[in-house]
Chain A
């Protein structure tokens, strides 16, 4: 078990390295390949108003003329040990986990991200609770009553669900249940109250985003669970369990569902990791000021360091989530080889 954990940890670290390289490539290599000059990049980083002369100076001081390896080294060093940006008019401090420094708002990105994280986290956790219960529940029932009216209806709705983009369902849900319409019970988008301030207001504001987001994922999970359950319930050990005289509920939950859940756990880990790295579409549709909205607003303002920060943080979450899933896998599914 210990060697397994160590192997997974090493894998996660390698993954993080690759992700940091990819992020670096997106923000420093791709623009150069696309024909951006160091001066042009520098002026995009320090704000667009820079004159040719100051842009050149900034490019020099920010090191955009250095070889890529040196730039990458500095990028990683900034994450680990913090960085200082001497861009001409002054020196800007960016303390330890320096995921970038926004020259537009003149602030390091990391504290911003930490302010936005609770919002995205609230959204993701609430939705995850709903979609796992709904998706897995409906999937199991559909599999057990295969071919029934319930199964057909549920799978039709699920198929429609995976075909609907969230930025459309989000919009429609706001049109129907908010904006002062006859059915309006839910909050309009754009409001967020912290859980500590008022749990009820927190839930009220997030209710619509939760349901919409959960609907999308529940549809996918219901389809996955149904397929998995249909497969496992045909296994020989299920017959054995029934032959032993176990109650049907025990057979379904302990023998069937447990095996069917393991692949879903993997998917869930990735989905959840991706979501807390920025539920970009949901947050945009409901104007929730989370990480995803932060990234999109930054793109609109061409504030690249902020986008870079979100990208790195999102990647970190995915890596950590898949690490946790790998470790849980060994606990949930006894068939997993630990070697």
Chain B
């Protein structure tokens, strides 16, 4: 019998990284989950394109006044000279598109469509982000509480989530947005409508996140590191905030990214139906509603429609990529 392994030198003292010495001499480093996810995400060109579009849209929304100052006209300014007064449609080809009016002008009043699209991004993204934040906060708190404490607390919260998911959401949202007067809760105008929409959308979409968080908490609760923390004397709040929440960040992030496009569509739908942010404040949904009355001017519908489509698609692509990166099982 020969020796099972022919190891030169003192094998017991061998540096495991010495194996790499011949290759590229890089030390092996521990990689965090975030680093691994980032590496996967970097390779996903489609998701990165989505992220690029999102960053671009956020910048557009942030610098809307500046962009409009250089490339357009104030979004509420009328340009009747661009309108053929007999047909009330824009003069010039393609709905009055020119270097001066990049996307043409609206029928009837001749407002600059480009500026209104740019300003519309503000409302759309603001409401979608804030509503998502609200639903993430409610969903995470209730989901963790339900999953961690179990028992009757879990039963009550889970039933509540079932009820919310089975609600005729859109009809309720329309009713709710419709019954609130123009001045309420010490607010008025756009501030009131935006807060109202954030509340309605966020309040009705928390169960989607709540269910995920509850499920994850249920399985995490039984893991060894929670037992270890408890045996060291950690109590409820510590375990929830220091042990559970860091492990819940990945699923919360994924679903938040996937809820944002739904919320954008929701806000656009409410604005389209006339119960969102009120005109003359420009919203993409509101512009589509007006465009529906002027079907002889197709370009009026195309731009707000494309704006919604591109935004929602970008978030969907990025969300899908993020999910694949953080949770490769779902591939």
**Chain A residues with a Cβ under 8 A of chain B:** 15, 18-19, 22-23, 26-27, 30-31, 33-36, 40, 159-160, 162-165, 167-168, 171-172, 174-175, 179, 270, 273-274, 277-278, 280-281, 284-285, 292, 295-296, 299-300, 302, 304, 307-308, 310-311, 314-315, 317-319, 322
Contacts and interface: CB of A to CB of B under 8 A. Distances in A.
Given A30-B180, A167-B289, A168-B308, 18 more contacts: A19-B163, A26-B175, A27-B179, A34-B181, A35-B184, A162-B316, A163-B313, A164-B309, A168-B301, A168-B305, A179-B295, A281-B272, A284-B272, A284-B273, A299-B274, A307-B175, A315-B167, A319-B166
Contacts of A296: 174, 273-274
A167 B269 contact: yes
Nearest to A279: B170
B38 to A, nearest CB: 23
A159 B163 contact: no
Contacts of B285: 165, 167
B117 interface: no
B194 to A, nearest CB: 15
Interface in B258-289: 261, 265, 268-269, 272-275, 285, 288-289
Contact of B181 (A18, A36, A307): A36
A285 B101 CA distance: 28
Please name the 9 residue pairs, one residue from A and one from B, whose CB atoms are nearest each other, closest first. Answer: A34-B184, A168-B305, A314-B168, A163-B313, A163-B312, A299-B178, A314-B171, A277-B168, A167-B272
A252 B261 CA distance: 33
B291 interface: yes
B71 interface: no
B266 to A, nearest CB: 10
A30 B295 contact: no
B26 to A, nearest CB: 33
Nearest to B289: A167
B178 A280 contact: no
B65 to A, nearest CB: 27
A280 B285 CA distance: 14
B169 interface: yes
A168 B268 CA distance: 10
A281 B273 contact: yes
Contacts of B67: none
Given A31-B180, A299-B275, A277 B312 contact: no
A308 B269 CA distance: 20
B175 A308 contact: yes
Contact of A31 (B167, B181, B289): B181
B258 to A, nearest CB: 10
Contact of A278 (B171, B265, B289, B308): B171
B127 to A, nearest CB: 15
